[in-house]
Amino acid sequence: MTVLALSSLARHRARLWLVLRMIISTTLAYALATALHMSQGYWAVLTAIIVTQNSVGGSLKAAIDRLVGSMCGALVGALAAVLLPAHTPTALGLALIGAVTPLVLLTAYAPHYRIAPVTAVIVLLSSGAAKIGPLGYALERVFEITIGSVVGVAVSVLIAPARAHVHVREAAAETALLLAQIMTALEPAMRTGAPDLGKLPTHVQAALNRLSTAAQEATHEQRSRLSDHPDPEPLFRTLRRLQQDVLALNRMFSAPWPDRVQAALAPSWSSYAKAAAVELRILAGALPSSHPPQDSSASRIAMADFIAAIDTLRREGITRALRTDVLGRILGSAFAVEQLQRDLDDFVERTHGVTTSTR
Mean per-residue pLDDT for 137-162?
83
Mean per-residue pLDDT for 332-358?
85
The b/e string for 163-180 (b: 16+ C-beta within 10 A; e otherwise) is bbbbbbbbbbbbbbbbbb
pLDDT of residue 96: 86
- Residue 341 binned pLDDT confidence (cut-offs 50, 70, 90): very high
* pLDDT exceeds 60 at position 7: no
Contact between residue 117 and residue 73 where contact means Cβ atoms under 8 Å apart: yes
* pLDDT exceeds 70 at position 77: yes
Mean per-residue pLDDT for 236-256?
89
Closest by Cα among 197, 187, 206 to 247: 197
Q: Is the dihedral of CA 197, 198, 201, 206 positive or negative?
A: negative
Cα–Cα distance, 40 to 88 (Å, whole number): 26
User: What phi, psi does 226 have (nearest 5°)?
Assistant: -95, -5
Cα–Cα distance, 102 to 159 (Å, whole number): 39
17 to each of 31, 52, 115, 261, 329, how far by Cα in Å? Answer: 21, 11, 26, 55, 50
pLDDT of residue 175: 93
Mean per-residue pLDDT for 112-133?
79
3-class secondary-structure state, position 162: coil
Domain coordinates of the chain in residue numbers?
3-158, 164-177+192-357
* pLDDT exceeds 60 at position 94: yes
* pLDDT exceeds 90 at position 239: yes
How large a percentage of the chain has pLDDT more than 70? 88
Amino acid in the structure at residue 102:
P
pLDDT of residue 291: 73
Number of C-alpha atoms within 13 angstroms, CB side, residue 335? 8
Mean per-residue pLDDT for 137-160?
85
Using alpha carbons only, give the angle 164, 166, 168 rounded to the nearest 5 degrees.
70
pTM of the predicted model as reported, rounded to 2 decimal places: 0.70
Cα–Cα distance, 73 to 102 (Å, whole number): 10
210 versus 125: which is more confidently predicted? 210
pLDDT of residue 1: 46
Mean per-residue pLDDT for 234-243?
92
Mean per-residue pLDDT for 46-61?
83
Who contacts 8 (Cβ-Cβ below 8 Å, separation ≥6)?
none
pLDDT of residue 11: 63
Closest by Cα among 152, 153, 187 to 265: 187
Mean per-residue pLDDT for 118-125?
84
Mean per-residue pLDDT for 27-44?
88
* pLDDT exceeds 70 at position 183: yes
- What CA dihedral angle connects 218, 220, 226 and 231, to 10 degrees? 50
Quick count: other Cβ atoms within 10 Å of Cβ 266?
Answer: 18
* pLDDT exceeds 80 at position 231: no
pLDDT of residue 279: 93
Contact between residue 69 and residue 76 where contact means Cβ atoms under 8 Å apart: no
Most confident by average pLDDT, 109-113, 138-142, 173-177: 173-177
pLDDT of residue 5: 56
* pLDDT exceeds 50 at position 69: yes
Mean per-residue pLDDT for 333-348?
91
Q: State pLDDT tens for residues 212-226.
A: 888 887 776 766 665
124 to each of 44, 105, 133, 135, 264, how far by Cα in Å? Answer: 19, 19, 10, 10, 75
Most confident by average pLDDT, 71-85, 105-119, 131-145, 269-283: 269-283
